[in-house]
Amino acid sequence: MDKKFPVTEEIFTFTINPAVDKSAEIEHVRPESKLYCENPSFEAGGGGINVSKAVAELGGKSRAYYLSGGHTGDKLEDMLRNYDFLNIAVEIEDSVRENFTIYEKSSQQQYRFNMPGPNIQDSEYRKIMKTFKEMESFPNYFVISGSIPPGVDDAVYAELAEIAKIDILPARSLTLTNEDSLKELSPKFSFVLRNDNFGIRSSRPSH
C-alpha cells in the first residue's frame, strides 16, 4: 500500500467488506438433506468492487481499493487480476467473507446467504483512514460502497466522505450503503445514493 500510483482514472471505489461470492443451482431445496449442487461459480464481490466491474464493462476506468485477508482474501486478489482495472488491497489479519447464492430451478427462486465479514482491528481501521488521507490526488468521483463488517462504527462512511469533501475537492463522494450508515452522512456532501430492494434514494446539498 505504500506504492504511489499516478491518477489516470475518473473513479476510485472502496469496499470495506468485500467477498468471494459463490453461487450454484439445485433442483429442490429441502431441509435436513444433503443437497448436491450444479454449475458452481465464484466471483469477486462487494459494493465498490461491483461498481468497478460495471465501470470496466462500460469502457470506463476506475481504481478499486478493498480489504483483503486470509485464504479467501488471496482468492479474491487472484480473481481481481482478471479484470481491467487497477485494484489495490489494504491488508488485514482476519479472513475476507464468503457469500453463497443458490438458485432453485423448480421454483425459479434465488436464496442469498451473506456472511457478516471480518473483524477489523483498531490499528487496521487507522490504516484504512491513513490510506485515503495520504493520497496526493483523487479523480472526480469517490465511491464508498457496500455493507460494513462487525465492530466497525456506522460512521466509517461519514468519516471517509469527510476526507473526500475536505481533502480532495472538487471530488464527489458517492456512497451506496445501508440505512444506519446513511444517517451518519451529512447532507452537505456532494451526492449520496442508496440502492437496495426498495429503490434508490439521493441526497444533494442545499444551496
Q: What is the pLDDT of residues 4-35, one digit of tens each?
A: 555 556 889 999 999 999 999 999 999 999 99
| Model confidence band, residue 69 (pLDDT cutoffs 50, 70, 90) | very high
Q: Would you give the distance in Å from CA 48 to the centre of its chain?
A: 4
* Contacts for 23 with CB less than 8 Å, ≥ 6 apart: 40, 41, 43, 100, 101, 102, 103
Answer whether 46's CB lies under 8 Å from 66's CB: yes
Residue 44 burial (C-beta neighbours within 10 Å; 0-12, 13-18, 19+): buried
**Strand-pair category, 97-104 with 109-113:** antiparallel
What band does 188 get if pLDDT is binned at 50, 70 and 90? very low
- Confidence band for 184, pLDDT divided at 50, 70 and 90: low
The C-alpha cell of 190 is what? Answer: 456532494
For residue 177, name the pLDDT band (cuts at 50, 70, 90): low
Question: The cell 487496521 sits on which residue?
Answer: 124
Walk me through the domains of the chain, giving residue ranges and CATH numbers.
Answer: 11-18+45-93+118-203 (3.40.1190.20)
Give me the DSSP letters along 134-202: T-S---SEEEEES---TTS-TTHHHHHHHHHHHHSTT-EEEEE--HHHHHHS-TTSS-EEEEETTEEEE
Percent of the chain with pLDDT over 90: 58
Q: State the average pLDDT for the chain.
A: 82
Q: pLDDT tens for residues 140-169? A: 788 888 889 988 988 888 888 888 765 444
**Residue 205: per-residue pLDDT:** 39
Using the Cα atoms of residue 21, residue 27, residue 29 and residue 35 in order, give the sign of their dihedral.
negative
Q: How far, CA to CA in Å, does 132 sit from each of 90, 128, 162, 163, 168?
A: 11, 7, 11, 7, 10
What pLDDT was estimated at residue 103? 98
Asked if the model's pLDDT at residue 76 lies above 80, the reply is yes
Q: How many Cβ atoms from other residues are within 10 Å of residue 166's Cβ?
A: 9
Question: Does pLDDT of 189 surpass 60?
Answer: no
Evaluate if pTM is beyond 0.85. no
pLDDT of res. 202:
40
